[in-house]
Amino acid sequence: MNCRVYSIAGKELRDIELDDAVFGLPVNEDVIWYAINNELANKRQGNASTKDRGEVHGSNAKPYKQKGTGRARRGDKKSPLLVGGGTVFGPKPRDFSYSIPKKAKRLALKSILSLKAQSGGIKVVEDFTIESGKTGELAGLLDNFGPGERTVIVLKDNDPLIKRAGANIPWLSFLSYNRLRAHDLFYGRRILMLEGAVKNLSEFYNPREAGK
């Protein structure tokens, strides 16, 4: 599959060949759903906690005698039926995270890359960095590729300068070629992929290597 390479000014420069083993696969919607839900589950904190009747502060004595008052029977003031009492079957701290097979994760990422490439959602941009680390310089560069919308920049390596420049742009996120996230890729309205990242992806997600 051929794709145009753009300059940082947003102008077409040349064509580049995208690896069909990464960008030309049939889209597997099931495994994409599986990977995205796994990422969301792993991000859950699971801190919600409630107190049951054994943990609520209060007396264990009966508030009044069992019979003769005409009122409902009460065991203690900590009953879930009373205001300030315990909670029945309330949430407790728990770990929502789980792991999925490595091959399934790789297939999901390649399916998303293929989906975006086939629908024109990926733009390959010549390698660049923001040496000043200033947000204004990066924002001006992004304006060359259209109005501000949820954008993902796929880097060829860990570039702290460009990440610092984009830290204050709320709709922008960065992904390294070897640490992609299915959720960010799938919901990104615009994916800008550095030319060097395209080559690194072809090597990193090589089917022969993925099977090891």
CB 11 within 8 A of CB 124: no
pLDDT at 13: 86
pTM: 0.82
Give CA–CA dist 82/75, Å, rounded: 11
Domain ranges for the chain? 2-29+101-210, 45-95
Mean pLDDT of 180-192: 93
Q: What is the DSSP letter of 166?
A: T
**CATH class of the domain whose range is 2-29+101-210:** alpha beta
pLDDT at 210: 40
Taking all residues of the chain, what is their mean pLDDT, rounded to a whole number? Answer: 90
3-state secondary structure of 123: strand
pLDDT tens digits for range 42-62 = 999 999 999 999 999 988 889
CB 13 within 8 A of CB 7: yes
Lowest mean pLDDT among 28-37, 104-113, 177-186, 197-206: 197-206
Give CA–CA dist 134/33, Å, rounded: 36
Give CA–CA dist 123/176, Å, rounded: 16
Identify which of 167, 34, 155 has the alpha carbon closest to the alpha carbon of residue 106. Answer: 34
Beta bridge partners of 12: 6
Beta bridge partners of 190: 151
